[in-house]
Structure 1
Amino acid sequence: MNIKLKLTIVSFLQLFVWGAWLTTLASYGFGFKQWSGAEFGIVFSTLGIGSIIMPPISGIIADKYLNLEKLYGIHHILYGIILLFLPAIDSPSTFFWVLLIGMIFYMPTLSLSNSLSYAILKKFNFNVVKDYPPIRVWGTIGFIVAMWCTNIFSNVSPPFSFGIGIGKAIASVTNMPVECNQFYIASFFAFVLGIFSFTLPKIEPTKDESINKTFSQIFGLDAFKLFKQSKMAMFFVFSMFLGAALQLTNMYGETYIHDFKNVPEYANTFVVKSANIVLSISQISETIFILAIPFFLRRYGIKKVMLFSLIAWVFRFGFFAFGDPTGSLWMIIMSNIVYGLAFDFFNISGSLFVETSTDSKIRSSAQGLFMMMTNGFGAILGSLGSGFLIDTYFTTPAGKDWHNIWLTFAIYALIITVAFAILFKHKHDPKDVEAFNH
């Protein structure tokens, strides 16, 4: 099989096995399991904890002991096994510990998949800058397809007749409600990806390089000295706060739309019955906005592009606050469209900022620190903080006050935006874009 085709399959399945349950976990916890906001916040924090704990350990294993493609495959097989246990768990505390084990296996694969693709492309003399983006975009497509599959096969009454039949068939085989299908779908394809990984070209460990590394270098601790630089410290702090904003979208977007079913005039609308499909507009938008990033970076510079992202987060939450499935449906659609700008512009420009602002000796560690602050500490902040706020201030016997929940998140994003504009100092240099391309 063609090497690039193999890597495209890896990219597609990498995010498919996450997207199958990530955006619907809130509906599963709040609606099906009837957990509180605080309980669900603790469950969702597993993503952040997994992003902090395991990546450096996986890096050591890949450096010293095991081929990268084998380590990657083992991670996914173990992740698939853990997913099979989740449907049978009712206690949120038990669910937390089991999902945490799953995230310890899965979260490192987000970076391992990139490393694996880079190494294989270089091994076969491909141009990474030219050939990797068309491969990576299939990851986002995989996430979209997974969201659609979950919506079709895991709802009690989706607007697709074949979905009802297949969804119920999966449920009958597993003896679990259809709401649990999302975990079985993700688990099956995690096994497929894990096994398929063993057919990839061998990427052997680079033992000699790792032997000479100090303890702090192995764990990426050298990068923490960047906090001594006020500009870098400010950037990483804002990365954490923005990481919290991203979790709010992942945690509550699908539940927010699904809860419109409690309003009679909205209950039978396509939007309510197909919340995950509607939310997939966000990922479609992401694939489009990523193509616009080079133009915006050249014209406006890194700081302004990041600022555009923060402003987009304000609109993302604000549109949700005032949207509904009928008269104001355009607001829900616009919220999903601006997500592409909100997500891509900060992540890509932030990565570029790290790339052009750090010494080559700690650049990889600095990129890891950037991811740790967003997907690690930021995710934990967003998960636990939002769960507490929703439980304490926005939950009544009648349900959740989604209007004020999203309005609060929009105000949060606005405060971060204004603070970033004032406090983060960075001058635009067109050479930064060229440095990123090389």
Structure 2
Amino acid sequence: MTFTNRFKLSAMMFLEFFIWGGWFVNLGTYLIKNFKSSGSEVGAAYLTQSIGAIVAPFIIGLIADRFFSAQKILGVLHLLGGLLLWRASTSEGFTAFYPNILIYMILYMPTLALVNSVAFRQMDNPQKQFPPIRVLGTLGWIFAGFLVSWLSWDKLGSEAALVNTFKMSGTASLILGLFSFTLPATPPVKKGQQVSVGDVLGLDAIGLLKNKSYLFFFIASVAICIPLAFYYGFANVFLQDAGVKGSTITQSLGQVSETVFMICIPFFFVRLGVKKMLAIGMSAWVLRYVLFAYGNGDTNYWMLLGGIVLHGICYDFFFVTGQIYTDNLAGEKFKSSAQGFITLATYGVGMLIGSILSGKIYDSNVGSDGSIQWQSIWLVPAGIAAVVLVLFLLLFRDKKHVETQPGVDAEDAEIVL
């Protein structure tokens, strides 16, 4: 891979996640402080991510893979997305704001797969070349958080300034949209081929659920995304209410932690195996929300920081390990469809349920005087994660060989857990 292509792909990843991190972290705070939105409305706004995740496979599988070059579709989606974010910034209430962000997320979520597609197609050694390029995405998210806090847009008492986060991300989206047309050519890989809805949704990998261990993992993956929705929707609102200065950059410590633990995954994976890795990840979810429940911005500030830093273990030990487990079990024939299937179930179904539930739990814990019972709110996702953890430990069998499923080669099925 040439230096020019490496630079372009790195810039692409940086902008891709700068855009998302620029507005998504503060969305709940913006809606509650500026529009006086209810928790259910915040949940509905974050639910757009799930809707986008459900629609994304159709845009990728039925359009991008068959008719148009990935970099051109990426450009068009980001140009339209930039306009939608600017339009969202001019909305005067939730009713006007919601359609813009809904359409935006339907357009944005497919770009997460598109940037990977553009990157992988230029590489001759993805295992070596992809990580240092992909890490620029995490840095982009962190830098967006740094800018929001450095410019004091998330400063306590200046909530109106948060509208600038949408303008900043919208501008970055327009820049990436134009820049995308200069990216290396990535023509459609299935041009002229017939693709079914089942292929698009990865339903041909449903046979993996016949393996009881994978079935329990699959159910746990969906269930653990319910607590995840609480964090996405209300963590920033909580930090601001607790009096944390620079709440956005403080929350970005979670992405720093994610980067560190991502590097450590191979080391832990070999020594701990799948079951212990997944269990540690779920345990971190329980601990994170307990720390949030009993932390505050004064004497127990360390608990808030601890809950944020645990994001690396929460995400990497469960989701990344789960992706590896799924990839190993699926075999060559079903690798792509299996990943699509688990993504649809987690970010689609799991996060959708979590977004609805978190909004209702928030609303039920807001007093008539506007006070918020955060301890009661955070103990709910802690309890859900704890139940999922216990059931997983009881039902997931930690064995050295996995029974062969239809379409799975025996040698591919034999994986050390």
- Could you state the TM-score of these two structures normalised by the residue count of structure 1? 0.87
The answer to whether the 8 A contact 1:154-1:180 is kept is no
Label 1:212 to 1:359 Cα distance change in 2 as closer, same or farther (>3 A). farther
The corresponding residue for 1:69 is: 71
The corresponding residue for 1:232 is: 214
The answer to whether the 8 A contact 1:153-1:181 is kept is no
Q: Which moved more, 1:12-21 or 1:148-157?
A: 148-157
The corresponding residue for 2:226 is: 244
Pairing partner for 1:32 from 21, 31, 34: 34
Q: Distance in 2 between matches of 1:334 and 1:396?
A: 31
Pairing partner for 1:43 from 42, 45, 49: 45
The corresponding residue for 2:238 is: 256
Label 1:188 to 1:353 Cα distance change in 2 as closer, same or farther (>3 A). same
Q: Give the deviation of 1:20 after TM superposition.
A: 0.4
- Could you state the TM-score of these two structures normalised by the residue count of structure 2? 0.91
The corresponding residue for 1:97 is: 99
Deviations 1:131-157 (A, max 9, x none): 110111111111011111122336275
SS in 2 for 1:64: coil
Equivalent position amino acid for 2:249 in 1: I
Deviations 1:200-230 (A, max 9, x none): 111111245x615444224423223433443
Pairing partner for 1:384 from 333, 356, 376: 356
Q: Which moved more, 1:20-29 or 1:401-410?
A: 401-410
Pairing partner for 2:125 from 114, 124, 127: 127
Equivalent position amino acid for 2:314 in 1: A
Label 1:222 to 1:94 Cα distance change in 2 as closer, same or farther (>3 A). farther
The corresponding residue for 1:179 is: 162
The corresponding residue for 1:6 is: 8
Q: Give the deviation of 1:45 after TM superposition.
A: 0.5
Q: Give the deviation of 1:198 after TM superposition.
A: 0.7
Equivalent position amino acid for 2:183 in 1: L
1:355 aligned onto 2:337: no
Label 1:417 to 1:3 Cα distance change in 2 as closer, same or farther (>3 A). same
The corresponding residue for 2:389 is: 417
Deviations 1:403-434 (A, max 9, x none): 221122212211111111112224257x99x9
SS in 2 for 1:82: helix
Q: Give the deviation of 1:127 after TM superposition.
A: 1.3
Q: Give the deviation of 1:21 after TM superposition.
A: 0.9
The answer to whether the 8 A contact 1:56-1:218 is kept is yes
Q: Distance in 1 between matches of 2:189 and 2:271?
A: 40
Q: Give the deviation of 1:193 after TM superposition.
A: 0.9
Pairing partner for 2:369 from 397, 402, 405: 397
* Unpaired stretches in structure 2, ≥5 consecutive residues: 402-410
Structure 1 segment 301-380 matched on structure 2, within 5 A: 301-380=273-352
Label 1:236 to 1:156 Cα distance change in 2 as closer, same or farther (>3 A). closer
Q: Distance in 2 between matches of 1:257 and 1:39?
A: 19
Deviations 1:2-49 (A, max 9, x none): 211111111111111000011101110112211111121112100001
Structure 1 segment 120-159 matched on structure 2, within 5 A: 120-121=122-123, 126-153=124-151, 155=153, 157=155
Q: Which moved more, 1:101-110 or 1:147-156?
A: 147-156
The corresponding residue for 2:178 is: 195
SS in 1 for 2:399: coil
Equivalent position amino acid for 1:144 in 2: I
SS in 2 for 1:399: coil
The answer to whether the 8 A contact 1:154-1:182 is kept is no
* Unpaired stretches in structure 1, ≥5 consecutive residues: 165-175, 262-271
Equivalent position amino acid for 2:84 in 1: I
Q: How many aligned positions are there?
A: 406
SS in 2 for 1:65: coil
